Amino acid sequence: MFFNFSVKYLTLFIMKKEFVSFLIICIISTSLMGQQPSGQPQGTQAPDILIGAGTNNTDLIYRVNGRDGKLYQAYLGSKLNETSALLKARDAGHQAYPVFGTGNLFEPALRMTHNDGNTSLELKYTSHNSEKPDPNVTLTNIVLKDPVYPVEVTLHIKTFAREDVIEQWVEIVHREAKPATIFIYASSMLHFDAEKYWLTQFHGDWAEEMKIQESELTSGIRIIDTKLGTRAHMYQTPVFFLALNEKSDENSGEVVAGTLGWSGNFQFLFEIDEKNSLRVRSGINPYASEYSLQPGKKFRTPSFIFTWSGQGKGTASRNLHGWARNYGLLDGTKPRFTLLNNWETTYFDFNEQKLSGLIDDTKKMGLDVFLLDDGWFANKYPRNNDRAGLGDWQENKAKLPNGLGYLVKEADSKGVKFGIWIEPEMVNPKSELYETHPEWVLRYPNRSEVYYRNQLTLDLSNPEVSEFVYNMVDGMLAKNPGIAFIKWDCNSMIMNPYSAYLKDKQSHLYIDYVNNLYNVLDRLRKKYPHLPIMLCSGGGGRVDYGALRYFTEFWASDNTDPLERVYIQWSYSYFFPSVSVCNHITSWGKQTLKFRTDVAMMGKMGYDIQVNELTEKELKFSQDAIANYKRLSEVIWKGDLYRLVSPHESNRAVLMYVNESKSKAVLFAYTLNSRYGEVFNRVRLQGLDPAKTYKIEEINVSTEGRRMGPSESGRSYTGDYLMKIGMNVGSATPLTSAVYEISE
Ligand code: DGJ
């Protein structure tokens, strides 16, 4: 409701900094003349209203313009001392959620066709309110309505004060006589007015995920999107940095880090208009996805999650990590298991005896879980390669005559836990499931099937199929309650986007698939709230915060060559906390075991190697490294990450984690290459307490390969010294590494 006062500027609340997100300032301006907002009697001037949705260091402020009753984004950036000054601006800002057809000549956030064929919308502010789900979190809901058609759009803005993170999503509902069609339905539209805009984006493919590119945006439209159906990430990743005015680096520059919580087709659209203003639209990719919305049924978009930093990408990453651990990732602050996986050592070729040996190896290494990968199921078409068996989730009698239960017990008797691989959304054409239920499979009835990894995707838009997926997982867990870990894989995109179930609503497929997958995961999580599950998708193909609400970690890439992994893990670290990134030590690459171990240790470490082929020295080195990892994992998983030397700018990579009390840090240094005579200078550390004195100790020391260069190991320095003068790390020898424990 608009207030009918005639005072010039009236500030209703001046709140403390940490509660500014709660702030509502109503300003009544008599100086502004013009069109009346909806419902406003002729001749009176509605007040302008400011609606703040800020965090400790950021303000996102909307303004309801009294002249036209519409909602504008008045400000986004570093915290303002006085928000009411925004009302002095002659221009209300940019329309917060612009629509199609009523004067907007650029990309809309929402486009819809009504029952009568009319294609226009106009959204006017109706009301807003705030909720406080916890002292750190404020949820602001702003309701907009069309004055001509019964369409209501609610913008939800959830702010996380301490983490400086903002989450936005939108709910759309109409009460027309018949279904109306929505064509574009953004989660968020943000506006920027800077001199220049620098976009950092991430792209790749199987085994080459997260390659980084930075470029200046030019006028017109740039789109980053995918159309893969079952996952967001693979060719393009649903994350970006947007630097304003100048390029940002780790410690300087204004930068926004954004990501979409959606495990299907996503789209980020960047449009620079004729005035050099930039709009950033984030949401589900509207590609082939017009959605027919029943009257009264709410359409909820996924969340766009972003943080604004005035101190570069380092702060932006730490903000997102903090948010993810506390809110975005399942059990983000809880410990994780270390594990031995058998995929790269056995592939499909194993039996009970071999697995029993691997369970022994898990124990011998000091790891928590033995994880049995693909190949344990199917009888009519045994899963002995990736061409058969997917969908038939009964233990293969030749490989596992005594079933999974036997292996669970075997693991238990040896003091380790048992984990299992599944890929429940998929089917091989050579399977009993396909034979019995061809109608459950996404495929065109009148065309030949197109395969990716010899498999097809099940039609999760069909409730019967989601029920099958739920029952398959639930049934396995009910039968084997000792299963302590799951790896949930998804190796194909939607190659044949046709659902027998959806009939004339084929354009719902991409959206219904993901929402029904989330329903399955919701139900499973109600029953098994804390079971650790690794999210995997033929390499790093399904990494997004929509899915990570249900998963404790993700498989970053099938490429485990440690040289490649330094770059891949570096890129993930911009948006995802180390506790979620699974890194395994395998036999890829020719590097030393020490190098492979040190690289895996910067995140969630695991193994996928032939333990029985390790020499005695290597075994001892690994056991010690695992013990070090367990001792330091709290710092690595929960500490603040400082990326000190980038592999993209140097022949080495150096990063460190510092715990909250700044009493302990772990530093990782990797020398990737070196030119003749190249000098690697001291590295200045970050995040320490200048007044504290720290002892430096090199850990994971190995005599394997060439030794490291000058080392400060064993010495003590103040935090001030280490941050201003620095320390020597690693050596100039290519493919060597060093890990330092830095203790108060
Ligand atoms: C793809 C995964 O990324 C691998 O780790 C492995 O689990 C295979 N699938 C199994 O088919």
Residue nearest to atom 6 of ligand 1 (CA): 343
Write the pLDDT tens digit of every residue in 352-397.
999 999 999 999 999 999 999 999 999 999 999 999 999 999 999 9
Sequence letter at residue 575? F
> Cβ(629)–Cβ(601) under 8 Å?
yes
The ligand 1 atom at the shortest distance from the C-alpha of residue 555 is 3
- Contacts of residue 620, Cβ cutoff 8 Å, sequence gap at least 6: none
Q: How high is the pLDDT of residue 707?
A: 54
Kindly write down the DSSP assignment for every residue of 468-495, as one continuous string. Answer: HHHHHHHHHHHH-TTEEEEEE------S
Q: Residue 243: which of 188, 292, 309 has the closest Cα?
A: 309
Q: How high is the pLDDT of residue 132?
A: 97
CA of 421 to the centre of ligand 1 (A): 9
Burial category of 510 from C-beta neighbours within 10 Å (exposed 0-12, middle 13-18, buried 19 and up): buried
Residue nearest to atom 10 of ligand 1 (CA): 374
Q: How high is the pLDDT of residue 182?
A: 98
d(CA 337, CA 486): 11
- Contacts of residue 13, Cβ cutoff 8 Å, sequence gap at least 6: 23, 24, 25
Burial category of 713 from C-beta neighbours within 10 Å (exposed 0-12, middle 13-18, buried 19 and up): middle
> Cβ(515)–Cβ(521) under 8 Å?
no
> Cβ(468)–Cβ(441) under 8 Å?
no
Q: How high is the pLDDT of residue 43?
A: 55
Residue nearest to atom 9 of ligand 1 (CA): 538
Q: How high is the pLDDT of residue 210?
A: 96
From the DSSP assignment, how many helices (H) and strands (E) are in the chain? Answer: 11, 38
Angle at which helices 463-479 and 403-413 pack, to 10 degrees?
40
Q: SS3 for 185?
A: strand
pTM over the 0.75 mark = yes
**Low-confidence stretches of the chain (pLDDT beneath 70):** 1-44, 704-710
d(CA 635, CA 625): 15
Give CA 276 to chain center in angstroms: 30
The ligand 1 atom at the shortest distance from the C-alpha of residue 421 is 7
- Cβ < 6 Å from ligand 1: which residues? 343, 373-374, 421, 489, 491, 536, 538-539, 555, 558
* Owner of token pair 């020719």: 590
Write the pLDDT tens digit of every residue in 419-459.
999 999 999 999 999 999 999 999 999 999 999 999 999 99
Q: How high is the pLDDT of residue 538?
A: 81
Please count the CA atoms within 13 angstroms of the CA of 407 that sit on its side-chain side: 28
The ligand 1 atom at the shortest distance from the C-alpha of residue 558 is 3
Strands 604-607 and 581-585: parallel
Burial category of 552 from C-beta neighbours within 10 Å (exposed 0-12, middle 13-18, buried 19 and up): buried
CA of 489 to the centre of ligand 1 (A): 7
> Cβ(175)–Cβ(167) under 8 Å?
no
Q: How many CB atoms lie within 10 A of CB 507?
A: 18
> Which helix H or strand E contains 584, and what residues bound it?
strand 581-585
